[in-house]
Structure formats: structure tokens, C-alpha cells
Amino acid sequence: MGDTLRKTAITPAHHTTPPAKFSHGVRKGNILQVAGQVGFGPAQPGQAPAAVGPGLREQSVQTLRNVQAVLEEGGASWEDVMMVRVYLTDTSHFAEFNAVYDEFFAELKEAPSARTTVYVGLPAGLLVEIDALAVLG
């Protein structure tokens, strides 16, 4: 088995350490899976991770930026993303999230990825989680 089929963990420098034994992203060959990301700001030494704000807009933008950081660290971009899964804590946030999502991807050149949105419970204060699957070149 060559190096192109080795599974490689992807962790951007500013991300917090995962709370359990998993990676922020994993690349194997031309497949990159980004684990569920939330709206935590950059890691601060000696401090617990914290959401960037209480509102859906700021958490959604930061969550998308966190997914993007893992994509870029793994050699991918949003153009390579085939599937996005969005986890919201409140069904009433769907329209607001879609507006933020559409703004974030306004400059996307290729066809948008497929997307699934589900409603879940998340730790207190977190409103959104997003994961993504990218296929490179």
C-alpha cells in the first residue's frame, strides 16, 4: 500500500484538541472527511474552547470557517466538497441559516455541494455543527 492510501489526520494549528480520540479531518487518497465542526473561535492556551457568540449568524460563519480551515489544511477547498451535513438545534433557525449559507457561498464557481440538514441536541450554547466530505482532483 503506497503513501497515497495512507490515512492522515488533519488538524489546523488554531483548532482546539478534540474532546475524544478523533481527528478534525482525515484524508486518504483523494478523499477528505471533515469531522463535525462548531463555532469555536481559535484555540487560546489554557482556556476551554468557547463559541464566538450567542447568535446563529456568528456561530454559523465561524463553523463554516472552521470547516474551511480543515479543508485547506488537507489540500482541498469548498470547490472539492461533494456533501455537507448541517446540524441545527432549533427548527426555527433553518431560514436564517440558509441566508448565511447562501452569503458564504455566493462566490462559489462550481455546482454547490449536496446538503442535508438535521436537528439535534448540541452542548449548551452551541447552535450549529457542520461536517463535509471532499473529493480532490
Q: Does residue 11 surpass a pLDDT of 50?
A: yes
How much of the chain exceeds pLDDT 90, in percent? 79
Cα distances from 60 to residues 8, 90, 127, in angstroms, run: 27, 13, 8
Q: Residue 98's domain is classified under what CATH number?
A: 3.30.1330.40
Task: State the pLDDT at residue 101.
Answer: 97
> Domain range for residue 43?
3-135
Which residues, including other chains, have CB under 8 Å from residue 7's CB and lie 6 or more apart?
26, 27, 28
Residue-wise pLDDT tens digits, 77-134: 999 999 999 999 999 999 999 999 999 999 988 899 999 999 999 999 999 999 999 9
Q: Which residues sit opposite 31 in a β-bridge?
A: 28, 135
pLDDT tens figures, 21-80: 999 999 999 999 999 999 999 888 888 888 999 999 999 999 999 999 999 999 999 999
* Three-class HEC string of 32-92: EEEEEECCECCCCCCCCCCECCCCHHHHHHHHHHHHHHHHHHCCCCHHHEEEEEEEECCHH
Is the pLDDT at 4 greater than 80? The verdict is no
Split into its structural domains, the chain has a count of 1
Using the Cα atoms of residue 116, residue 117, residue 121 and residue 124 in order, give the sign of their dihedral: positive
pTM of whole model > 0.85? yes
- Give which of 33, 32, 40 is closest to 15, Cα–Cα: 40
pLDDT score at 2: 55
